[in-house]
Structure 1
Amino acid sequence: MFRISVLARRYSTKPITSYFKLFPQNFPHGGPPQDSFIINPKHLRREYRNLQSENHPDLNGSAILNSEVVSNEASLSEVINKAYTTLKNPYSRIVHFIKVNHPLHLDLSRDEISKDLIKKFQSKSTQSSLAYKEILMNVLEVHERLELATSEQELEELEVENEERIEETEAEIADMIKYEIKDWDELMMTAIRLKYWINIRNGIKEWEPGKPMNLTH
């Protein structure tokens, strides 16, 4: 585990209000761990559309209108848009969960935080270092296959394989946060692995024959 004093000095932020609370139909108990981390995309989108409808009764409820996430600088509509965009993506969803629930409210989307975490993980033991290198090798292999793909069929095969990885990693995360979280570092490293597969998904969507792939890791 990180030394709390070091992280507190570098990266700790103020507590934030959970976006999960803006979608009570999908997260009736306020979000994970009381609710499932894995969402139904269609149900989330339906609730999002309802919330954006003019004069929808949920928008008149004090729970949303008085939420701390609605500031003077942002309209309610903007906040709901941002919340939906955050929660529909499994990586940004777990990043938000960590920021809300981590003792230091760390923002894993900040490069310096993820890099420090990876460095700490690799220096933990030889086994940890090899485990991370194996993850990178797998990512680079998929990246190379994507760059060399010449047909829609090859792309479809890559997409099916990658969606399986995303589902498996998302399920791992769901299990890790179902009860009391014993190792935040392990959870965040799993989230970073999920980010790699989400980046591959984005690369597949942007694929064109012969087009260089500039994926971030």
Structure 2
Amino acid sequence: MRSLRPIASAARASTRPTPTPTPSPSPCLLCAHRTPPSASLRYQSTSTPSSTEQETSAPPQTHYTFFPSTLPSGPPPAGRFTIDTSALKREFLQLQARAHPDLHPPSQKARAQALSARINEAYKTLQSPLLRAQYLLSLQGVEVGEEAKLDDAELLMEVLEARERIEEAESEEELVGLKEENEGRIAESVRVLEEAFERDDVGKARGEAVRLRYWVNIKESLDGWEKGKGVVLEH
């Protein structure tokens, strides 16, 4: 007669409750961002690193590194120039909640404060198309400061005409058309920058970043318009 013990043992085993897996803790935010920001993604050392250095060295950290969920591909040309700013803001708030100095022991508060400041800087830069373009160019070793100009007579005329319309306006209603025109200019500059960074065309991206700075300057003047207030536009 066949024994029923194995069957009974199996039945008892099947009725035992399945243990609930313990969720793995979130990775340490301070540990994940030890590498200081890199001045240039294109920097290449002329010396040959040792095998140990090759194994332990981390890739250069950029502002994009802080937002892996929103920007998994990193900066262009691997990733896109345009960004889902709503998703970026959500991830930023989550990061700041984890990096808050009060959540860390006294021995790590200074690091947490420094990391929080870097996260703030990264978010502020990436959420603005102009600052984002300037930052990406700086990673290529190209600086686009306030002194950068374009030898473009047509652009200069557009800027001067916009200044005149803003200064002569008697009410905000008179500026509605100019606001719409300027938003169109900004959108076009963003489109051109998208193509330029996708093609790794640094020269084209630099020129359009300068152009975008003019349109952003006009936008700021329109947003802060007051009757009789003087307008200072770069040209």
TM over 0.5: yes
**Which residue of the other structure, out of 114, 134, 141, is the alignment partner of 1:95?**
134
The yes-or-no answer on 1:194 pairing with 2:192 is no
Match of 1:146 in 2: 166
Letter in 2 for 1:15: S
CA distance 1:83–1:143, shift in 2 (3 Å): same
Secondary structure of 1:180's partner? coil
Q: Which of 192, 200, 221 pairs up with 1:203?
A: 221
- 5+ residue gaps, structure 1, are 1-12, 61-70, 123-131
Runs of 4+ in 1 over 6 A off after TM superposition: none
Where do 5+ consecutive residues of structure 2 fail to align?
Answer: 1-37, 42-60, 105-109
Give the superposed CA RMSD: 2.5
State whether structure 2 residue 192 is matched by structure 1 residue 172.
yes
1:45 Cα offset (Å)? 1.4
Amino acid at match of 2:136: F
Q: Hey, what's the Cα distance between the residues in 1 that align with 2:191 and 2:120?
A: 25
Letter in 2 for 1:20: Y
Q: Which residues of 2 match residues 1-217 of structure 1 at below 5 A?
A: 14-15=39-40, 17-54=61-98, 75-100=114-139, 102=140, 105-109=141-145, 111=147, 114-115=148-149, 118=150, 122=151, 132-181=152-201, 184-217=202-235
Contact 1:21 1:31 in 2 (8 A): no
Percent of aligned pairs with the same amino acid: 35
TM norm structure 1: 0.71
**Greater relative contact order (Cα 8 A, min sep 6): structure 1 or 2?**
1
Deviations 1:21-76 (A, max 9, x none): 211122111122222211222222111111111369xxx9xxxxxxxxxx97x711
User: What's the offset of the Cα at 1:185?
Assistant: 2.5
CA distance in 1, matches of 2:63, 2:79: 13
Q: Is the 8 A contact 2:66 2:119 kept in 1?
A: yes
Structure of higher CA gyration radius = 2
* Map of 1:3 onto structure 2: none
- 2-structure distance, mates of 1:196, 1:169: 11
Give 1:126's aligned residue. Answer: none
Q: How many equivalent residue pairs?
A: 171
TM-score relative to the length of structure 2: 0.66
For residues 153 and 165 of structure 1, the distance between their equivalents in structure 2, rounded to whole angstroms, comes to: 20
Shift of 1:203: 0.8
Tell me if the contact between 1:99 and 1:107 (Cα under 8 Å) persists in the aligned partners.
yes
Instruction: Give CA deviations for 1:132-182 in whole Å, capped at 9, x if unaligned.
Output: 01111111111111111112212222211111110011001101111332x
